[in-house]
A and B are shown apart, each in its own frame.
Chain A
């Protein structure tokens, strides 16, 4: 491996306050019962800030503020004016993108090159895209007069904190809804900075409310009788609980849940490109990606060549300081997630798969996990069935395209899939048969605000992004 001097991005661009309140009705306020929790930097375990923990009373205040804003301001406002607020927000995000990127890497542990070059550009693009829809809803293909739903309750995960916020808030506001959003408890800081951006944009009070907290806060929000829409991104287990909680109500529900994507490499694939795609598919964002290509299916005849090349490439990955511009793999987001990755990896070894990681020095403090592959994995192994949500790849082989389809679809999940082959007709044949919402052919982990994203089967329902993304926020 080449020796690089450290190239850290400066933290001075970010001004983290010692403590944050809840953002309700346009103002930061203290929680009613005074609870709080700490958000830490997973790369150092240093406390970044103390954050208010919203209780049921706070959720109620936020929902009321959102309702009032919906009825008095945001609902009646012409679409072209809603659009202008969203364009303003998109611009401020672009202007403050470095600050947001550094804060995201500090709070989440993801490499700065990803927060800077992937997350932030997509966040701004998402607001820009949906801004343009706000005054064109009657042309979106949902009939002549689509109406907003009202107040949207939105609960988002910690893997792409600001991007998931954008995926939730931008279409909701464009369609004319107001929102109460709960960020994940380990990554609340960029959402709170986003609240400041709403203030800077002079967004009317109550249109966006941010209530920080953990599972109980989320439950109070989702179950609040005053919300008309629930949108959740996170684990399938919690998604199921939410689907039960909204049963029998009028609440419209969209869920973007777990995945166990197959990344399928045929013998005619360009091996070097495929290996880049495999690495991107599973090690991007430490593998904390619901659509990660966590099951590698290699055609038997090229399995040895692909694995040899993959291992060589993995040995070049730099694991360490998320703020270092050369870092490829940052910190695992939390101690709890690290424990889960370790537990499943140990199960992989115990069930007979062969574990390999490149030589890799991990920092002493913080939460770290070396990029890891398991070979000799069968479909019965836990590491082939359960979502690990970490930098751990399970490798299986196949002989025929039909077998590849069979194995790829042998999962309750159906979020994404990858195909690597030079043969166009085979790509389309495979794409038709893979039960997954996103199919990347000769590429992987590509995202765009115009491109609908979401799963089949137990990966959830509804789509985010594109024209389809409006549907979850309209009464259609």
Chain B
């Protein structure tokens, strides 16, 4: 009897809820796997998918978004061993599961914490509410591969944004495997899109893209590149999250600023009268 030949996994991009190869037909080798090398065109396609998903996702109820994020935690819990096999420490997987749960609970609480009635000096109803800014480009941190990724995706999407994530070139396998988690979590296609490959190819395209509303530079380690991306982002006044400090503790309580940085506050006035 010969030994069974294993079925290997193909690691592809995650765009619009589907797993396409790069339109460029290129790949690069990571941990013995051929990983898609996303092109600028792939980045633009991902923005189109993310934009198309905004209306449904931002328009979903907060309860529904919370349920779906919680479902992502359930799916991740079930795939714990897959991540461990990729080299992600078990306690990091646990922390990533817990982070999904933590953010899931914020969906229907942040609007109360961050918005509210304003006591204006006149006979007016006046209410401020947070709303998603729209399409967010995210540069994921290189490490921790899984927890870092979850910690930048969850706060962006829980409030109704959609994201195009440039995965760390050094850690694409965890990113694609996380895409498989999301694909089975009832998350509508296009809410999260993940590009693997070189940051130098995809991220400048995202930073200068006029249909992207915000960019999270957390994973950009090179200060000059970060400054250049921020300059590009100024063209349509994207909201910018600057790179995280190198000693950032990803296991600590993340606070709410990652969510609030990607929100707009809308204030509605109406006169009171009979």
Contact = CB atoms under 8 A, between A and B. Distances in A.
A244 B118 contact: no
A456 B269 contact: no
A451 B118 contact: yes
B270 interface: yes
A436 interface: yes
Most buried by A among B213, B237, B270: B237
A397 to B, nearest CB: 24
B266 A437 contact: yes
B124 A443 contact: yes
A94 interface: no
Contact of A443 (B213, B223, B239, B269): B269
B230 interface: yes
Contacts of B269: 438-441, 443, 446, 451
B265 A437 contact: yes
Contact of B268 (A414, A439, A458, A463): A439
Nearest to B113: A141
Contacts of A220: none
A247 B223 CA distance: 10
B48 to A, nearest CB: 18
Contact of B122 (A240, A244, A448): A448
Contacts of A257: 237
Contacts of A453: 267
Contacts of A310: none
Give the size category of B's interface with A.
Answer: 35 or more
B231 A244 contact: yes
B264 interface: yes
A451 B236 contact: no
A247 B239 contact: no
Contacts, number: 103
A454 B230 CA distance: 21
A441 B270 contact: yes
Contact of B227 (A143, A247, A255): A247
Given A143-B255, A450-B119, A247 B234 contact: yes
A91 interface: no
Interface string A222-248: 000000000000001001100110011
A358 interface: no
Nearest to A428: B268
Interface string A126-147: 0000000000000001010000
A418 B53 CA distance: 27
A278 interface: no
A111 B196 CA distance: 59
B226 interface: yes
Given A442-B271, A450-B118, A236 B265 contact: no
Contacts of B236: 412, 457-458
Interface of A: 125, 141, 143, 236, 239-240, 243-244, 247-248, 255, 257, 412, 414, 427, 431, 436-443, 446, 448, 450-454, 456-458, 460-461, 463, 466, 468, 471, 476
